[in-house]
Amino acid sequence: MIEKIKALLDETAHLLASNTEELEALRIKYLSKKGLIAALMDDFRNVPSDQKREVGMMLNELKQQTQDKILSLKEQFENTNTGHAETDLSRTAYPIPLGTRHPLSIVKEEICDIFKRLGFSIAEGPEIEDDWHVFSSLNFAEDHPARDMQDTFFIQSNPEVVLRTHTSSVQTRVMERTQPPIRIICPGRVYRNEAISYRAHCFFHQVEALYVDKDVSFADLKQALLFFAKEMFGENTKIRLRPSYFPFTEPSAEMDISCNICGGEGCPFCKYTGWVEILGCGMVDPNVLENCGIDSKIYSGYALGMGIERITNLKYQVKDLRMFSENDKRFLEEFQSAH
């Protein structure tokens, strides 16, 4: 043991390294938990009692000497690097290219932030869903056109498993396991079997909102919609509600906003009407509440849903929906300042 220590004392006193990688290798060799010095420490228990004092002192000296030597070499490298790290003032300053967030992500987070300020929390669910959560629980009739193959993607020809066509399936999942009050927004990707063109795609993104509690009225819905429109498109934005039909809401409506391009005066974008449709909404149908285990005689609620691509089009005048999924750097770089 003593001879081994003397040999290592001589060896570590003359350690050399030409770069930080070699220095790290030396540290691991001698000072790591599985290094040479640690092995000697483990073997110390086998040293005869009359030699333990001498051997212990030599081991401590070896460890201290090795640590000091490696620290000294490390300081030399740091001093050398500092000496060469002078700024070359004649060198051209090349800007570092910054990554960009996707415009759909920017708008989605803005929408979510607005509803968070109204007390809504985010809820998410699976994109591969069953018929109950996508259709049946939401009051879709068995012969509703949305169940047809031309609109819905089915998984392995199984009529009970589909790619969700809306994020309303998240709402039904939350209502099944949560008693009111419920106040959620459901952002996510959805799928519909549509021909891809400048105005439609087989997948797109939605944000839906649901509020269920005692004495929720259509006036509450209208106030939330007005707040959202003004926060999203500006204080001067006006809204109007038109009667519509959705299986899961009654009464139902579609909401238009005053065109944010012409200010409601009329332009090609709004087809000279001064209004642009952005979302559908309504009071949750009592059948939907009952299907999800909520007493419709005690509770009521409203729901609304919008396409994120639609809102992004209105904010940034993107005329071709396909650009959102093509990952063209030239297109994405236009949104650097929108972060």
Dihedral Cα 66, 69, 74, 76, nearest 10 deg: -170
pLDDT in tens, 217-227: 999 999 999 99
Q: Which two tokens stand for residue 48?
A: 């005869």
pLDDT in tens, 34-83: 888 888 888 877 878 888 788 778 888 888 888 888 888 888 877 665 54
In angstroms, what CA-CA distances link 289 with 124, 160, 187, 302? 19, 22, 21, 11
Select 103-338's CATH number: 3.20.20.140, 3.30.413.10, 3.30.930.10, 3.40.50.300. Answer: 3.30.930.10
pTM higher than the cut 0.95: no
Q: What is the mean pLDDT of the segment spanning 131-152?
A: 80
Mean pLDDT of the chain: 85
Higher pLDDT, 157 or 273: 273
pLDDT at 149: 56
Burial track 20-33 (b if 16+ CB lie within 10 A, e otherwise): eeebeebbeebbee
The top-scoring range by mean pLDDT among 92-96, 156-160, 300-304 is: 300-304
Q: Is the pLDDT of residue 229 over 90?
A: yes
Q: Is the pLDDT of residue 96 over 70?
A: no
pLDDT at 80: 62
C-alpha 192/C-alpha 200 separation (Å) is 10
Which amino acid makes up residue 312? T
Domain ranges of the chain: 2-79, 103-338
